[in-house]
Chain A
Amino acid sequence: MKPCKNQAFTLVEILVVCGIVSVFLGTAILLFTNFRRGYSRSEGTAVLLQDGALFIARLRTDLNNAVIAPDSSGGAPTQLSATLDQLSFMVYSSREAKTMPVVYRYLAAENGGSIFRREGSEKERELIKDRVASLTWQTALERFLEPENTGSGTVRLSIGLDIQLKMRSGDEKPFTLKTSIFPARLNRQLNSP
């Protein structure tokens, strides 16, 4: 039997294959690394968006149920009270069939602040933890008079909200939102004759 001498790969063949494999692997690793970075950034962005959306929805629902009512001590009827770190108002609870105070508290911190909410005598709950880069809430009471009107005109109460959420790592796109909320019940009460 005649031995075959041409069965093995030549050095050039092996080098070419190694080169092609390296290029493919290099590209795959690069793509995967980029994807990993993009994925974690997108995941963080989605988490921030979800946190922000839930907070805004919660606050909007509460403010839409806000009413002018005496506080628990039976004092003078109050509308809204806003300070740098606290927003409080009375809401009408259909479930309890009575008004109760709702308090939002912002605890600023260098590495990310937190937002808490308390309703009635319930325990304070954390809405956003360590992700608030900045938050301002400002109440504005406007009065619009008709040119020939001598009456009180139309009153509009609104809360200007400016919030920025950020992850600790800081790679993610921060969530920023600036909007106004117009409490419907409160405005109706303010404009009722």
Chain B
Amino acid sequence: MLEIVFSIGILALIMLPVFMTFSTGNRNIQLTDAEFRAHTAAIELMEQIVSLPFGKITSGEYDSNAIVDGGQFADGPILYKIATADELWRTMKIEDVKRDGKVLFKKITVTIKYAAAPGSDRIREFFMKTLVANETL
């Protein structure tokens, strides 16, 4: 009987990593979904700023309280258009890239913080950068 119990115990131990692999795979799919949503949110914010005329892209730092649907961009008349997303926070930084006193580019950095899985306490961060050329020069 002891041999049988031992063999079953060893079998159970062997099976454990197999089942753990399955649950890891499942978690990764959840994470991919969260990453995709973070990526979409970053592009959505980035695109609406890039689409503006160069002169309207105001440099500064914008936090998640300012970046809300219908909120004012740089306290001006242009309003954000943001799709609602749970457990996702956006921040944005716009900097001037100058040469000889002239602004050649605007460097836009969008950072997204998001929960790794719905209801999870683990927060991940994703950022995206781009440059907008001053076409008026």
Q: Which residues of A contact B (CB under 8 A)?
A: 9, 13, 16-17, 20-21, 24, 28, 31, 35, 38-39, 42, 45-46, 49, 53, 56, 60, 64, 140, 142, 144-147, 153-154, 156, 158, 177-184, 187-188, 191
Alpha-carbon distance A158/B135, docked complex (angstroms): 22
Tell me if B25 and A53 are in contact (CB < 8 A).
Answer: no
Q: Are A182 and B47 in contact, with the CB atoms below 8 A?
A: yes
Binding site for A on B (CB under 8 A): 1, 4-5, 8, 11-12, 15, 19, 22, 25-26, 29, 32-33, 36-37, 40-41, 43-44, 47-48, 50-53, 56, 76-79, 81, 83-84, 135
Q: Is B32 within 8 A of A49, CB to CB?
A: yes
Q: Are B77 and A144 in contact, CB atoms less than 8 angstroms apart?
A: yes
Instruction: Contact check, A45 vs B29: say whether CB atoms are below 8 A apart.
Output: yes
Interface of A is mostly: helix
CB pair A9–B84 under 8 Å, yes or no, is no
Q: Report B-chain residues with C-beta under 8 Å of the C-beta of A45.
A: 29, 33
CB-based contact A17/B1 at 8 Å:
yes
Residues of chain B with a CB closer than 8 A to A191's CB: 52-53
CA distance A20 to B3 in the complex (A): 13
Say whether B40 contacts A56, CB under 8 Å.
yes
A180 touches B48 (CB 8 A): yes
B48 CB, nearest partner CB in chain A, Å: 5
Q: Kindly provide the distance from the CB of B16 to the nearest chain A CB, expressed in whole angstroms.
A: 10
Contact between A156 and B47, CB atoms less than 8 A apart: no
A144 touches B51 (CB 8 A): no
Closest chain-B Cβ to A6's Cβ sits at a distance in Å of: 14
- CB–CB B1/A13 < 8 A: yes
Q: Are B56 and A154 in contact (CB under 8 A)?
A: yes
- Please state if A46 and B1 are interface contacts (CB–CB under 8 Å): no
CB within 8 Å for A184 and B51 given contacts A56-B40, A178-B83: yes
